[in-house]
Amino acid sequence: MQQFLEIISKPDNIPIVLLLVSVIFFTWLAWAKAKKNDSQQIPEEAKMDDKVQVWPYLVRMEFLMSIVVMAVLVVWSVFLDAPLEEPANRALTPNPSKAPWYFLGLQELLVYFDPWIAGVVLPTLIIIGLMAIPYVDINEKGNGYYTFKERKFAILTFCFGFLILWVALIVLGTFMRGPGWNFFWPWEKWDPHYVAVLTNVDLSEMIGIPTRLPDNSLNPVAFLFGGVLVFGFYSLIPIYWMMKRKTEIMKKLGPLRYNIVAFLFLTMVGLVIKILLRLGPPILGLNPVKYVWVTPWFNI
């Protein structure tokens, strides 16, 4: 526990504590406002649409906020020194080696995925996905006020991605990943000699299909099995389209928007499934899953 307090109070980790506190606060605030708006005919914001002069009403607010922010920043800077460790030394690798805090969610994903997915493909998809949001969200309601009722899917998806897959993984990666990137509970001491037994097996091996043949070449059956699983997963996109294409919402969405939304959404779901395939089996006394699909060029 003492070690946990030490890590939490490291100067460079203060932003994560702030992140956690502010995200919880603002989620609650937005939730309360959305609930209030949803329970009445007119959103609160619409009652405040009379115009006020920017001077003084807005400028005054900005001025006050600037003073508060500067005061906090100066006090923070007077009392807490930015870290400066020993000089850079390529021969001395710290354990654990961690990226800056805002990338620790992605670094945490390295546990479950190969670097090309966790470090390149997923960040790219996050950026592209974020940019696509305004063009694929065709729901006209909920523009300019807090609401939940009018856009449940959009808000739930975004909040899951931001609060769980981004913020929670950052917190996990910073505070609970010790030497060797091993998991430690807050009350446990980070033991640098702790050796985690790696019993990961590929998904095909769980049902008795070895990934490698005795001569260490790839087993075509396992290759096929994984390929069918991955392609089968993404074939949910056309299947769902065929089932629902007659509905109002699908017609409005159109095939292009639908494919983008479905692909991004399924990828996010697939990410969670892969994490659960690693964490779930040990609870049932089975081996954790390493890869779903092994190919000569890449593994998923």
Partner 1 sequence: MLTQLRDQFRKTEVYKSIFRHSYQDTQRNRALQIVDNVFLHLHPVRVPRHATNLGYTWGMGGITFLLFIVLTITGVILMFYYRPTAQYAYEDMKYLMNDVPFGPLIRNMHRWAAHAMVLTVMLHMFRVFLTGSYKPPRQFNWVIGVILLVLTLLLSFSGYLLPWDQLAIWAVTVGTNMARATPLLGHEGPFGPELGLRPDNDVRFVLLGGTEVGPPTLLRFYVGHCIFLPLIATIFMIVHFWRVRKDGGISGPPPGKNNF
Please report, as residue ranges, which positions from 128 to 167 form the binding site for partner 1 (by CB under 8 A).
130-131, 133-135, 137, 139-147, 151, 154-155, 158, 162
The answer to the question of residue 231 lying near partner 1 (CB under 8 A) is no
Distant-in-sequence, close-in-space partners of 156: CB < 8 Å, separation ≥ 6: none
Q: Does 282 bind partner 1 (CB under 8 A)?
A: no
Smallest gap, in angstroms, from Cβ of residue 209 to partner 1? 23
> CB of 78: closest distance to partner 1 in angstroms?
7
Answer for the pair 265, 157: CB distance below 8 angstroms, yes or no: yes
Length, in residues, of the chain? 300
Cα radius of gyration rounded to whole Å, the chain: 24
Span from 95-103, 218-226, 229-237, 244-252 in contact with partner 1 (CB under 8 A): 95-103
Nearer to partner 1, 47 or 246 (CB): 47
Helices 248-283 and 236-244, axial angle in degrees (round to 10)? 140
Residue 50 as a binder of partner 1 (CB under 8 A): the answer is yes
Minimum separation from the CB atom of position 293 to partner 1 (A): 12
Residues 205 and 213 sit within 8 Å (Cβ to Cβ) = no
Please report whether residue 99 would count as binding partner 1 according to CB under 8 A.
yes
The span from the CA of 239 to the CA of 160, in Å, is: 25
Pick from 24, 56, 186, 192 the residue near partner 1 by CB under 8 A: 56
Residue 299 DSSP code: B
Among 28, 116, 231, 234, binds partner 1 (CB under 8 A): 116
User: What is the Cα–Cα distance from 154 to 152, expressed in whole angstroms?
Assistant: 6
Site for partner 1 in 73-92 (CB under 8 A): 73-74, 76-78, 80-90, 92
Residue range at the interface with partner 1 (CB under 8 A); choices 55-63, 224-232, 240-248, 254-262: 55-63
Residue 65 as a binder of partner 1 (CB under 8 A): the answer is yes
Contacts of residue 250, Cβ cutoff 8 Å, sequence gap at least 6: 241, 244, 258
Q: From CA 126, how far away is CA 132, in angstroms rounded?
A: 10
57 binds partner 1 (CB under 8 A): yes
Query: Of 25-33, 201-209, 253-261, 268-276, which segment contacts partner 1 by CB under 8 A?
Result: 25-33
C-beta of 83 vs 214, nearer to partner 1: 83
- Check binding of 5 to partner 1 (CB under 8 A): no
Among 15, 179, 238, 288, which residue interacts with partner 1 (rule: CB under 8 A)?
15
Query: Exposed, middle or buried by CB within 10 Å (0-12, 13-18, 19+), for 208?
Result: exposed
Distances (CA, A) of 233 to 5, 140, 228: 43, 31, 8
